[in-house]
A = this chain, B = another copy of it.
Amino acid sequence: MLAERYSAVRSVTTALTAPLSEEDCVVQSMPDASPAKWHLAHTTWFFETFVLARANPSYRPYHPQFAFLFNSYYEAVGERHPRAERGLLTRPRLSEVRRYREHVDGRMNDLLAHDSPRKELTDAVTLGLHHEQQHQELILTDIQHAFSKNPMRHAYRDPGKAPRRGGAMAPSLGWVTFPEGLTSVGHEAASSTFAFDNEQPRHRVFVEAFSLGNRLVTNSDYLEFMLDRGYARPELWLSDGWAACVANRWDAPFYWEDPRRTQGQRNVFTLRGVHPLDPAAPVCHVSYYEADAYARWAGARLPTESEWEIAAEKVPCAGNLAEEDRLEPVACGPLSPEDPPAQLFGDVWEWTQSPYTPYPGCVPCAGEFGEYNGKFMCNQMVLRGGSCATTRTHVRATYRNFFPPEARWQFSGIRLARST
């Protein structure tokens, strides 16, 4: 069973890199991003280090330098190659990294098929698979960023197959209301399903009455903000946000192409190439600062993560997400009146107004895994709900994603909230 999950998840990673050339796999277009080859190797190093080497003390690593090259941030495991120089690693070649994956997969299959690994190891495998799913989404967001820096604007995936397109209007925005109350959020420890340590423990919170927008903010909505000079009015922005807006000369979401180069036509660059902006699709690739400014302009605010979770527990975990066996969406589709109201999963990660902090009574994992989540609990904002680049099996109502407030290269969008 775990062996099957292992194969399924690892295959998705391979499938995601299939459209990439050797050259595509080696570049790093900014320090925040990593090369696809590095993602392939790092996720493999994770299993080698935290499963194979623990299961068998005499396990000899595939290559003595890979631990140095492919450790991401585990201080407890030793020194690392500088993050900003991952794109210089032309060696080992992609073919060698693929052999590394096969080698580790073979050993992992042996372990999972024939042995009865102890719980500590199966837990590490499960964590490793969720870890790999996180990197699957990063492979997509990082390569989109790399391709965007190239005037050739190469399409990662066949442009013809973009999700249901059309001039259809999105439904008008409505509000779903929730009463005040003392309730619980977070992952129930007794549950049999997986959750990261940062989703635990389940704990009580008092939440005032609130309303949530019944759909995401669309490109059409966002264009109104832009037409109303949203990017030129400091009173709409957080102070740090305005500084970022000015310093980076933001005047539209990331990946929106300059319409002055295309006779006023608004195009966006996506993993399916450059195509005209779909007004009915959710706005995507906005920073927290832009989401916050938009909400203020709209007379609303962003939800807290508790509010979002209270709402999400009531709806199915479904939407414009990737399926392991199909992997279709890597773009936001247009919203349509047929969508279930307040569908909270898929399309774009939704910025919340909650900084990423530990839950009350939170106990980080022991050992190296204690570094997995806890040490990032500063200067980051929580996002919820998964995106069109997230695998459906990876997300859930309690899932806490997090990025710095200026990050724009993720599939991040906006849902409004209001105090009532």
Contact = CB atoms under 8 A, between A and B. Distances in A.
Interface of A: 21-27, 29, 37, 65, 68-69, 73, 75-76, 81, 85, 87-94, 146-147, 149-152, 154, 182, 203-208, 234-235, 237-242, 288-289, 292, 304, 353-355, 357-358, 360-361, 370-371, 375-379, 405, 419
A140 to B, nearest CB: 15
Given A88-B150, A204-B206, 5 more contacts: A23-B25, A23-B37, A23-B90, A240-B376, A378-B405
A90 B154 contact: yes
A87 B151 contact: no
Given A81-B151, A150-B88, A239 B208 contact: no
Contact of A150 (B90, B152, B240, B361): B90
Count of identical protomers in the assembly: 4
B354 A357 contact: yes
6 residue pairs, one from A and one from B, having the closest CB atoms: A355-B355, A75-B234, A23-B90, A239-B375, A23-B26, A22-B22
A76 B234 CA distance: 8
11 contacts: A23-B26, A23-B91, A27-B27, A75-B234, A88-B150, A90-B146, A182-B182, A206-B206, A238-B376, A238-B378, A239-B375
Question: Could you tell me the dominant secondary structure of chain A's interface residues?
Answer: mixed
Contacts of A24: 90-91
A213 to B, nearest CB: 18
B93 A240 contact: no
Contacts of A94: 23
B235 A206 contact: no
Nearest to A146: B88
A152 B85 contact: no
Given A204-B206, A419-B361, A152 B65 contact: yes
Contact of A23 (B23, B205, B289): B23
A110 to B, nearest CB: 28
Contact of A90 (B27, B68, B92, B242): B27
Given A151-B65, A378-B405, A75 B235 contact: yes
A290 to B, nearest CB: 13
B88 A27 contact: yes
B371 A235 contact: yes
Question: Which of A92, A207, A242, A355 neighbours the largest number of chain B CB atoms within 10 Å of its CB?
Answer: A355
Given A239-B73, A379-B405, A149 B182 contact: no
A205 B203 contact: no
A88 B242 CA distance: 25
A353 B378 CA distance: 9
